[in-house]
């Protein structure tokens, strides 16, 4: 078990290292205000903390640096979230300042402001488009053999895709199809669209249309909505500002991993409610073993959820980021729900 003083020293050490990015030594610490014991005492305590795996040395006679275990203990037990400074709140609120009516726009702005505020990289996941509900379907013919399919959802999101249409098809056939589609598919989620298309609509079309086959199958192809359309980044280049990252190779790997939307679920586990902190090797991706990721979820209405993530060095300003994310998560939930209900 840790003594009161050990806890205190661990906390101060982590705080100091987060702030300075330099290994912290006993003399340095002792000079700080609020510390009433000598360097030697601190050395003894630090040696104990190192023995327990909370601190590390970069070399035999260096100051100490928190280990991953140290960071973990710090965020689990020593984090005293302080209220956000006014400037930060003002900045955060500026996201919603302009009357914005599109969720996408709000999320984009959030990503930007968040990265500016933190100097880290922010990743925001919008709500899964595939849970949106079809409000209207239409097909606009472009030429004799192609048309564009348009799906509008209840949230005002628009999906559109060009697809081929069989040669010499009667325009009235397309109109018929659109009518059938709208009759049968309004109110269905994008996710279920494909299934419902097969199950119900195909039957009806068989009855009412002559050349349903080809048209139907190409249209069906077109309306597969991909999963990953909803990722927004802020401050992708901020890693380059961090003194912790100097190895170009590692930077490249990290940036590569973050760009690749396939990896997003590894960075931000889906379905995670609330706030989570993943430190160094706790991350699933080895390219992120020098990073910490803080994620928080937010809600839109009762059902849909999105996520916010901040990727920074392990030596991240946890206190500040946690407060920022807490606040932003709340604000976003409120604001987006409002937009949804409007």
Partner DNA sequence: GTTAGCACTCTTGTGGTGCGAGTGCTAAGA
Partner DNA sequence: TCTTAGCACTCGCACCACAAGAGTGCTAAC
List of residues contacting DNA (CB under 7 A): 5, 23-28, 36-41, 43-44, 46-47, 50, 57-64
Q: Which is nearer to DNA, 11 or 320 (CB)?
A: 11
- What are the distances in angstroms from CA 102 to CA 156, 310, 340? 8, 23, 9
Q: Which is nearer to its own copies, 228 or 256 (CB)?
A: 256
Q: Considering the complex, what minimum distance in angstroms separates the CB of residue 246 from its own copies?
A: 7
CA 257 distance to own-chain centroid? 14
Q: Which residues of 255-265 are buried (b: 16+ CB within 10 A; e: fewer)?
A: bebbeeeebbe
164 forms bridges with which residues in the sheet? 146
DSSP string of 1-40?
Answer: ---HHHHHHHHHHHHHHHHH-S-B-HHHHHHSTT--S-HH
246 contact, one of DNA, its own copies, none, CB 5-8 Å limit per kind:
its own copies
146 contact, one of its own copies, DNA, none, CB 5-8 Å limit per kind:
its own copies
Question: Judging by beta carbons within 10 Å of its beta carbon (0-12, 13-18, 19+), is residue 177 exposed, middle or buried?
Answer: buried
Q: Which is nearer to its own copies, 90 or 140 (CB)?
A: 140
37 contact, one of its own copies, DNA, none, CB 5-8 Å limit per kind:
DNA
Q: Considering the complex, what minimum distance in angstroms separates the CB of residue 44 from its own copies?
A: 40
- What are the distances in angstroms from CA 324 to CA 12, 81, 317? 22, 10, 11
Q: Considering the complex, what minimum distance in angstroms separates the CB of residue 28 from DNA?
A: 4
39 contact, one of its own copies, DNA, none, CB 5-8 Å limit per kind:
DNA
Q: Which residue, 44, 45, 66, 48, is CA-closest to 57?
A: 66
Q: Considering the complex, what minimum distance in angstroms separates the CB of residue 329 from its own copies?
A: 23
Q: Interface with its own copies by CB under 8 A: which residues?
A: 101-102, 135-136, 138, 140, 142-143, 145-146, 148, 150, 152, 154-156, 158, 160-164, 236-237, 240-241, 246, 248, 251-252, 255-256, 259, 342
**How many alpha carbons fall within 13 Å on the CB side of residue 20?**
16
Q: Which is nearer to DNA, 37 or 233 (CB)?
A: 37
218 contact, one of its own copies, DNA, none, CB 5-8 Å limit per kind:
none
Report the number of secondary-structure helices (H) and strands (E) in the chain: 13, 10
80 contact, one of its own copies, DNA, none, CB 5-8 Å limit per kind:
none
Q: Considering the complex, what minimum distance in angstroms separates the CB of residue 103 from DNA?
A: 48
277 forms bridges with which residues in the sheet? 294
Q: Considering the complex, what minimum distance in angstroms separates the CB of residue 37 from DNA?
A: 3
């Amino acid at each position: 078990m840790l003594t009161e003083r050990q806890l205190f020293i661990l906390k101060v050490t982590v705080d100091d290292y987060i702030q300075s990015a330099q290994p912290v030594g006993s003399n340095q610490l002792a000079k700080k205000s609020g510390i009433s014991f000598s360097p030697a005492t601190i050395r003894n305590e630090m040696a104990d903390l190192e023995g327990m795996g909370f601190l590390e040395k970069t070399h035999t006679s260096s100051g100490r640096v928190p280990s991953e275990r140290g960071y973990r203990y710090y965020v689990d037990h020593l984090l005293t979230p302080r209220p956000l400074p006014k400037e930060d709140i003002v900045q955060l609120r500026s996201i919603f300042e302009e009357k914005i009516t599109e969720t996408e726009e709000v999320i984009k702005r959030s990503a930007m402001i968040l990265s500016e505020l933190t100097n880290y990289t922010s990743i925001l996941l919008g709500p899964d488009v595939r849970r949106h509900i079809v409000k209207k379907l239409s097909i606009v013919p472009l030429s004799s053999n192609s048309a564009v399919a348009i799906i509008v959802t209840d949230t005002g999101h628009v999906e559109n895709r060009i697809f081929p249409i069989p040669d010499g098809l009667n325009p009235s056939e397309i109109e018929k199809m659109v009518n059938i589609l709208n009759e049968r598919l309004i109110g269905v989620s994008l996710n279920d669209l494909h299934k419902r298309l097969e199950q119900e609509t195909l039957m009806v079309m068989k009855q009412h249309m002559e050349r349903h086959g080809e048209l139907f199958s190409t249209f069906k192809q077109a309306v597969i909505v991909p999963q990953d359309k909803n990722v927004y980044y802020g401050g992708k280049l901020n890693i380059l500002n961090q003194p912790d990252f100097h190895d170009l190779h590692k930077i490249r790997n990290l940036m590569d991993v973050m760009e690749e939307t396939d990896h997003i679920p590894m960075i931000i586990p889906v379905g995670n409610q609330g706030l989570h902190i993943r430190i160094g090797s706790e991350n699933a991706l080895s390219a992120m073993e020098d990073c910490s990721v803080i994620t928080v979820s937010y809600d839109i209405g009762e059902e849909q959820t999105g996520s916010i993530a901040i990727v920074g060095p392990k030596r991240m300003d946890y206190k500040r980021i946690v407060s920022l994310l807490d606040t932003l998560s709340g604000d976003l939930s409120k604001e987006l729900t409002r937009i949804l209900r409007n």
